[in-house]
């Protein structure tokens, strides 16, 4: 069942059927919750589209506030600068991947999916939201384990929300998680090597408070 009018499917639509494969089974289980929780539709749509990304932004801001007070503040701040860069690079890597895989959104081939988000007719694999949240979370985890662990949980909740609103298969989410984590981890040493001298130069300018917190009292 769709909340919005949907574009014509590129291939014949088939109902969701338990047992077809684990991808469909998990989607059916999570998205099926939407039928019984109509009171949560607005909240889940907002959180799945924007809210959880805003939570991650708040966690990164908190991490920056803490990083400026660390003995290794320059390394920590460089790591936090890397976080949005990792997300951007993961998104760029996903652009050709999505076009190559060209997987239709689940609601285009399964008419029983409850769709809560309008206008999602681009390819489904891999999930942009999943890769953005996980790349940010993993980069944050490298800087601040406590806040990073919370961020990873937020990324997992993001994946759940994308299934709930009916715009991705579970493997779209897992693919996004894998790509985001891979970029954040694999390129981190190179990124820090490039960013650390820049951060140290900024520390020697009037923008020093961006890198290190001045002692008070």
Q: What are the structure tokens assigned to 44, written together? A: 């889940």
Q: Please indicate whether residue 8 or residue 89 has the higher confidence score (pLDDT).
A: 89
Q: Is 154 exposed, middle or buried (0-12, 13-18, 19+ CB in 10 A)?
A: buried
Q: Report the predicted TM-score, pTM, of the whole model to 2 decimal places.
A: 0.85
Question: Residues 69-93: pLDDT tens digits?
Answer: 999 999 999 999 999 999 999 999 9
Q: Is 2 helix (H, G, I), strand (E, B) or coil?
A: strand
**Extents of the domains making up the chain:** 53-204
pLDDT at position 3: 41
The CATH number that domain 53-204 falls under is 1.20.144.10
CA gap 125, 182 in Å, rounded: 16
């Amino acid at each position: 069942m769709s909340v919005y009018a949907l574009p014509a499917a590129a291939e014949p639509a088939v109902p969701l059927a338990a047992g077809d494969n684990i991808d469909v089974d998990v989607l059916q289980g999570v998205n099926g919750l939407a039928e019984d929780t109509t009171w949560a539709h607005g909240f889940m749509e907002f959180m799945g589209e924007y809210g959880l990304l805003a939570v991650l932004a708040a966690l990164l801001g908190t991490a920056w506030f803490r990083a400026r007070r660390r003995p290794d503040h320059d390394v920590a701040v460089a790591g936090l600068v890397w976080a949005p860069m990792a997300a951007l690079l993961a998104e760029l890597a996903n652009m050709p991947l999505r076009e190559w895989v060209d997987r239709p959104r689940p609601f285009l081939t399964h008419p029983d999916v409850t769709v809560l988000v309008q206008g999602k007719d681009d390819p489904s694999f891999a999930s942009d939201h999943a890769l953005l949240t996980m790349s940010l979370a993993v980069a944050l985890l490298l800087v601040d384990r406590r806040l990073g662990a919370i961020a990873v949980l937020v990324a997992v909740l993001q994946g759940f929300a994308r299934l709930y609103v009916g715009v991705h298969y579970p493997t779209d989410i897992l693919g996004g998680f894998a790509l985001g984590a891979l970029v954040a981890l694999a390129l981190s040493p190179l990124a820090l090597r490039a960013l650390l001298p820049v951060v140290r130069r900024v520390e020697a300018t009037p923008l020093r408070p961006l890198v290190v917190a001045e002692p008070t009292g």
